[in-house]
């Protein structure tokens, strides 16, 4: 953990240190952004798809960075900086090496959050609940959950020897076969949980079944001491629930426990697993009320059973399910449910994820435009079809679900059946893949469109989705507006346009 000396960092990276001008210089943290690098930081030159940090080494050093981590090939061409650089073969891989080294020093638990959908929201829920421990809780910044993001998470400035940390909540994302194995080997989680296991990143993972198998590596390859949180409302996890072991935690709906596999009942009778039962007693458009009941295992000898009701200020059953997953995880570390409930009151949803905003002219904006997959689209549609919004006019602004590979068209067309349920609505489809949905509805379901009083529109990915506002201004008042698509579609442009239009109306 921080601080380190340059000499220490060089040793961890197997980088030569004999040429360093100040090998004993103290480094307080690192930065990959030359614009923000501080005088006590190590600048790391990352070679990415759209930029090369090596182009900014000189400016970072002149700005006062202690030194720069660079690739050997770059330093060979720029030898004048050798006394201020730590040369490595590959800076991204070196960051992961450094991350693994830092991880070995942690005196606090690392909680790994995997899954196809809902990782970031669940991570934020869990981090909020863990503030009940009255110590620093660190977590993955935004959704930096890939090869570089995990390394940055492990080496973040907050991980310091003189600061007491309750836990690190690390989001783990995969987009290729083998990625999870590499992440687990570096993160070595103490606690692991998986959210929904829907089709994701199929361009790299190949198929839904393969994507599930890759996600399950988080459970299967984590250290034997790792406590795994099993969410039984996820069908693909129920299929492998026979793999549950002593010390694990089961999260299940109150009426479903009896139907679970024999392994669960055997461990439960022996008090070798903890169990969080839940019941969603009230489901509204913008929130859920959840009754929960905790039965600790014999491993948690400082804990007692409890029951508690929580309000989840997010739309959709999926968010309620992710909340109880986070609650079960937090309950392992915090035995006082009253403190957990107090901490939960401070929860704020992450930007562009299930964000509900009341705008002028009676507009309810449902901003969920950070990401999209078949499962998360379906969850958002279910929330939009809630009884509370049943009689309101609806506007759906939907962008492509990216990275679905050869199965992209079929997964997009699967949206049609549920979209046709939105009576009295405006359906605005944006992007190349959504054009297939547009054509399917227009050519094969024209009668259903007329019956449902649905207005269908499409705009190509080369246009600005904010242009939809030009045709919606007459129908948007008193409407519920869902905005959802993959991050690469940048539907935040429509959100800003909608908010600006509403503000102008006074």
- In eight-state DSSP terms, residue 144 is -
CA atoms within 13 A on the CB side of 498: 29
What are the E-state strand segments in 266-401? 274-283, 288-295, 306-312, 355-358, 364-368, 393-399
pLDDT at res. 17: 87
Q: How far apart are CA 379 and CA 31, in angstroms?
A: 37
pLDDT at res. 285: 87
pLDDT tens by residue, 210-269: 999 999 999 999 999 999 999 999 999 999 999 999 999 999 999 899 999 999 999 999
Buried b / exposed e across 474-497, counting CB within 10 Å, b at 16+? eebeebbbbbbbbeebbbbbbbeb
Q: How far apart are CA 87 and CA 283, in angstroms?
A: 56
SS3 265: helix
pLDDT at res. 418: 94
Contact 330, 446 (CB under 8 A): no
If we measure between CA atoms, which residue out of 320, 379, 289 comes closest to residue 125? 320
If we measure between CA atoms, which residue out of 337, 319, 367 comes closest to residue 124? 319
pLDDT at res. 317: 92
pLDDT tens by residue, 12-34: 999 998 889 999 999 999 999 99
pLDDT at res. 109: 98
Domains of the chain: 4-88 (3.40.1390.10), 106-344 (3.40.1190.10), 355-505 (3.90.190.20)
Q: What pTM does this model have? A: 0.94
Phi, psi of 205, rounded to the nearest 5 degrees: -95, -20
Q: Which portions of the chain are predicted below pLDDT 70? A: none
Chain center to CA of 470: 33
pLDDT at res. 436: 97
pLDDT at res. 149: 96
Beta bridge partners of 289: 282, 311
pLDDT at res. 49: 84
If we measure between CA atoms, which residue out of 470, 500, 471, 466 comes closest to residue 483? 466
Contact 172, 180 (CB under 8 A): yes
């Amino acid at each position: 953990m921080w601080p380190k000396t340059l000499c220490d960092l060089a040793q961890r990276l197997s980088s030569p240190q004999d040429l360093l001008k100040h090998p004993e210089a103290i480094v307080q943290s690192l930065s990959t952004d030359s614009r923000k690098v501080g005088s006590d930081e190590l600048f790391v030159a990352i070679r990415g798809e759209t930029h090369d940090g090596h182009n900014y080494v000189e400016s970072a050093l002149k700005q006062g960075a202690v030194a720069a981590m660079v690739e050997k090939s770059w330093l060979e061409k720029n030898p004048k900086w050798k006394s201020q650089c730590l040369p490595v073969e590959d800076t991204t891989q070196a960051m992961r090496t450094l991350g693994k080294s830092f991880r070995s020093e942690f005196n606090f638990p690392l909680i790994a959050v995997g899954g196809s959908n809902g990782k970031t929201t669940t991570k934020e829920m869990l981090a909020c609940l863990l503030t009940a421990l009255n110590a620093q809780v660190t977590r993955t910044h935004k959704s930096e959950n890939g090869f570089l993001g995990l390394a940055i998470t492990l080496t973040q400035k907050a991980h310091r020897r003189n600061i007491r940390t309750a836990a690190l909540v690390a989001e783990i994302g995969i987009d290729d076969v083998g990625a999870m194995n590499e992440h687990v080997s570096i993160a070595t989680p103490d606690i692991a949980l998986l959210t929904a296991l829907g089709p994701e990143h199929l361009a790299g993972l190949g198929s839904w079944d393969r994507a599930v198998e890759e996600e399950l590596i988080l459970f299967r390859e984590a250290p034997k001491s790792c406590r795994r949180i099993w969410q039984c409302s996820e069908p693909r996890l129920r299929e492998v629930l026979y793999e549950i072991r002593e010390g694990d935690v089961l999260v299940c709906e109150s009426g479903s426990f009896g139907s679970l596999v024999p392994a669960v009942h055997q461990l439960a009778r022996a008090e070798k697993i903890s169990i969080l039962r839940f019941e969603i007693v009230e489901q509204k458009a913008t929130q859920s009320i959840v009754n929960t009941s905790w039965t600790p295992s014999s491993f948690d000898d400082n804990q007692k059973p409890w029951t508690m009701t929580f309000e989840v200020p997010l739309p959709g059953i999926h968010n309620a399910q992710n909340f109880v997953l986070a609650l079960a995880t937090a309950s392992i570390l915090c035995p006082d449910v009253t403190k957990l409930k107090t901490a939960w009151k401070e929860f704020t949803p992450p930007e562009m994820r299930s964000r509900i905003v009341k705008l002028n002219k009676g507009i309810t904006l449902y901003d969920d435009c950070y990401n999209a997959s078949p499962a998360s689209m379906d969850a958002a549609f279910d929330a939009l079809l809630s009884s509370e919004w049943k009689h309101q006019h609806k506007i759906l602004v939907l962008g492509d679900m990216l990275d679905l590979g050869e199965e992209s068209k079929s997964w997009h067309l699967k949206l049609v059946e549920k979209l046709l349920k939105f009576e009295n609505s405006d359906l605005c489809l944006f992007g190349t893949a959504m054009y297939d949905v547009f054509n399917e509805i227009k050519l094969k379901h024209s009668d259903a469109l007329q019956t449902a009083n649905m207005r269908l529109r499409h705009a190509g990915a080369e246009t600005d989705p904010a242009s939809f506002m030009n045709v919606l201004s007459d129908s948007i008042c008193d409407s519920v507006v869902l905005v959802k698509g993959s991050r690469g579609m940048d539907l935040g442009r429509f959100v800003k346009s909608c908010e600006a239009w509403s503000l102008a109306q006074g």
